[in-house]
Structure 1
Amino acid sequence: MKTLSSKSLNVLVIVLVFSLVSFISKEKQTIKGWFLAGSSPESYEIGVVHDSERNSKIAFLKSKDSNIKGFGTIMQSFEPKKFLGKKVKLTAYIKSKDIEDWAGMWMRIDGPSKKSLGFDNMQNRPIKGTTSWTKYEIVLKVPKEAVNLAYGVLTSKTGEIYIDSFKFEIVDESVKNTGHQGSVKLTEPTNTDFEESF
């Protein structure tokens, strides 16, 4: 079955975040600091339960409907002041159950005028079906002009996702990015014969 492209999800997430954040009230937040968004948020629910394997409280994102054409995400966003100009690694432990299409952790870096400066939603390494607790990571450079960092976990169509222990850490510049960065303006023609590597 056809899935949303990375570009389509990027555009959807950007539009939804900036259009929905201003309308999210404390009454609609079922988990402190987190909210439900996506192209079909009404088809999903989020919450917190205790997990014996992790021996801690964990969050969940579950589909409520049996026929969903879009996606849902549990997310939050913040001002990335202490990460400006740094390469950042986001990690979390995730377990899945009956993911019909795919799921993934994601991170997006926004610049002025809502321009995306970096994005990774794991669509090139998706979580599918039923999986045990696994640690996942995303690495992106946070440009100095960044004004917002949004992140979370999404699932396309039906299924359940369980999440624990999100962590941000600054890493060395040599650590390879997992997603794509915003366009970079070059000062001169570069790698015109395609022989150079990163």
Structure 2
Amino acid sequence: MKKIKSRLFKLVVVIFGLALLSFTQANKQTIKGWFLAGSNPESYEIGITKNKERNSNVAYLKSIEPNIKGFGTIMQNFEPKKFLGKKVKLTSYIKSKSIKDWAGMWLRIDGTNRGKSLGFDNMQNRPIKGTTNWTKYEIILKVPKEAVNIAYGVLTSGTGEVLIDDFKFEIVSDNVKNTGHQGAIKLKEPTNVNFEESF
């Protein structure tokens, strides 16, 4: 009985070790500062390649399975300190190849309330589809003073490949229109209750 328990314990340890190794390999960082995530990250691959058109290194996110339900994203997070209370514009250059569903750059502003963003735009209302040349895309969102994290990247839903280069953040005027939606705005008092006022 003791031998059976001992062998069983060893088997559990081996299985756990293999599972942990698999998880680590699937989530290891292949590009400094960036990681692969999404609803189906195991169906995608990220990396760096030299691009003659841009005359520089560019990142890629590509599907590695023929049929995918869900999405993968190349992304990173950072502290929003210098952007607090300001409106920011995120830009990058993206080239797509055989995007079957859609792809898009995205930006999310996080607060302390986990699972509820203070601002978000993933370009789903202006998606990248099919095969496209290098194009500059932009997202504009306000970063509230209570923000604790900024997450951003490029996603692909379904199959296809995107090449990505030159992300840039810059502060813009509050008068510049947002491209995405902001979280709920807390007003000082009831406002525009009869819906007669416009922006």
TM-score category by the smaller chain? 0.7 to 0.9
Q: Name the counterpart of 1:182.
A: 183
Percent identity between the two aligned chains: 78
**Deviation, structure 1 residue 195:** 3.0
Question: Any idea what the Cα deviations from partners look like across 1:112-147, whole Å, max 9, x if unmatched?
Answer: 132310000000000000000000000000000100
Question: Any idea what the Cα deviations from partners look like across 1:131-166, whole Å, max 9, x if unmatched?
Answer: 000000000000001000000000100000000000
Instruction: Please state whether the residue corresponding to 2:113 is helix, strand or coil.
Output: helix
Between the aligned partners of 2:152 and 2:124, the Cα distance in structure 1 is: 14
5 Å-filtered alignment, 1:133-148, equals 133-148=134-149
5 Å-filtered alignment, 1:84-123, equals 84-114=84-114, 115-123=116-124
Between the aligned partners of 1:50 and 1:147, the Cα distance in structure 2 is: 34
Question: Do the aligned partners of 1:63 and 1:159 also contact (CA within 8 Å) in 2?
Answer: yes
Between the aligned partners of 2:38 and 2:30, the Cα distance in structure 1 is: 16
Q: Give structure 1 stretches of 5+ with no counterpart.
A: 1-22
Instruction: Please state whether the residue corresponding to 1:103 is helix, strand or coil.
Output: strand
Between the aligned partners of 1:179 and 1:24, the Cα distance in structure 2 is: 34
Question: Do the aligned partners of 1:24 and 1:35 also contact (CA within 8 Å) in 2?
Answer: no
Instruction: Please state whether the residue corresponding to 1:82 is helix, strand or coil.
Output: helix
Between the aligned partners of 1:98 and 1:197, the Cα distance in structure 2 is: 42
| Residue type of the alignment partner of 2:121 | D
Instruction: Please state whether the residue corresponding to 2:171 is helix, strand or coil.
Output: strand
Between the aligned partners of 2:183 and 2:122, the Cα distance in structure 1 is: 14
Q: Give structure 2 stretches of 5+ with no counterpart.
A: 1-22
Q: Name the counterpart of 1:130.
A: 131
Between the aligned partners of 1:152 and 1:78, the Cα distance in structure 2 is: 12
**Deviation, structure 1 residue 190:** 2.0
Between the aligned partners of 1:100 and 1:194, the Cα distance in structure 2 is: 41
Q: Assess, with a 3 A threshold, how the Cα gap between structure 1 residues 186 and 24 changes in structure 2: closer, same or farther.
A: farther
Between the aligned partners of 1:85 and 1:187, the Cα distance in structure 2 is: 17
Between the aligned partners of 1:76 and 1:24, the Cα distance in structure 2 is: 18
5 Å-filtered alignment, 1:164-179, equals 164-179=165-180
Q: Name the counterpart of 2:55.
A: 55
Between the aligned partners of 1:196 and 1:73, the Cα distance in structure 2 is: 40
Between the aligned partners of 1:116 and 1:55, the Cα distance in structure 2 is: 36
Q: Name the counterpart of 2:18.
A: none
Instruction: Please state whether the residue corresponding to 1:113 is helix, strand or coil.
Output: coil
**Deviation, structure 1 residue 24:** 7.1
Deviating above 4 A after TM superposition, structure 1's stretches of 4 or more consecutive aligned residues are none
Between the aligned partners of 1:29 and 1:157, the Cα distance in structure 2 is: 22
- Aligned residues between the structures: 176
| Residue type of the alignment partner of 1:192 | V
Instruction: Please state whether the residue corresponding to 2:186 is helix, strand or coil.
Output: coil
**Deviation, structure 1 residue 46:** 0.1
Between the aligned partners of 1:124 and 1:145, the Cα distance in structure 2 is: 27
**Deviation, structure 1 residue 65:** 0.5
**Deviation, structure 1 residue 192:** 2.6
